[in-house]
Chain A
């Protein structure tokens, strides 16, 4: 179980490959891997978005992500999970979040991956401020999945 919050641009597929290499010992136990990658859009609520600042609460954000990861492990029979979330200044197309879940079978992996993502969006302390042509604005609510 691993949680990373990073202010540097990250490439989700290479992070995933690196993590899988580190955790090679459990490969034979995991028949299923579910992965979600979310990236920055260049539009929101009818406006073009040219950039974004992502703020977080250092300490609480990591604790919250660790808490939901631990909860997912009790609700489903998981072998492992990985959450990576970007903060700081972003450009359209930049990956924002990676959630990966490993389990013996696909049902647990799909369900836990979706649940982790929804919990993260609902309560993990992150805030987005969008840069528009006419200035900047804080995003006030998440779009429904």
Chain B
């Protein structure tokens, strides 16, 4: 099945693209999407994941058409 992958901030720069589509087997998890989308990267402790714009763990299952985003720890706000 196909899922949409998005990267933000430093991960977007490392991946060299803001978005791509990957094929993973039915029943795949977010961790398998990460491996398919970033074959060059080892598993990173410091990566957060969201499924359809909600935070999820890497063990979360994905479905056809899901949008899976990977990004570093967030640094918004000020003061």
Q: Do A and B bind each other?
A: yes
Seen from chain B, the residues whose Cβ lies within 8 Å of a Cβ on chain A are: 6, 8-10, 12, 50, 53-55, 69, 71-79
Q: A57-B50, A60-B50, A60-B53 are in contact. Are A127 and B78 (CB under 8 A)?
A: no
Contacts of A135 in B (CB 8 A): none
- In the complex, besides A121-B75, A125-B71, 18 extra interface pairs with C-beta distance below 8 angstroms are A39-B79, A57-B50, A60-B54, A97-B79, A117-B77, A122-B74, A124-B74, A124-B76, A126-B75, A126-B76, A126-B77, A127-B8, A127-B10, A127-B71, A127-B74, A128-B75, A140-B73, A142-B77
Contacts of A142 in B (CB 8 A): 75, 77
**CB–CB A127/B9 < 8 A:** yes
Size class of A's contact patch? 20 to 34
**CB–CB B77/A138 < 8 A:** no
In the complex formed, the residue of A with least CB distance to B78 is A38
Seen from chain A, the residues whose Cβ lies within 8 Å of a Cβ on chain B are: 36-41, 54-57, 59-60, 63, 85, 96-97, 117, 120-129, 138-142, 145
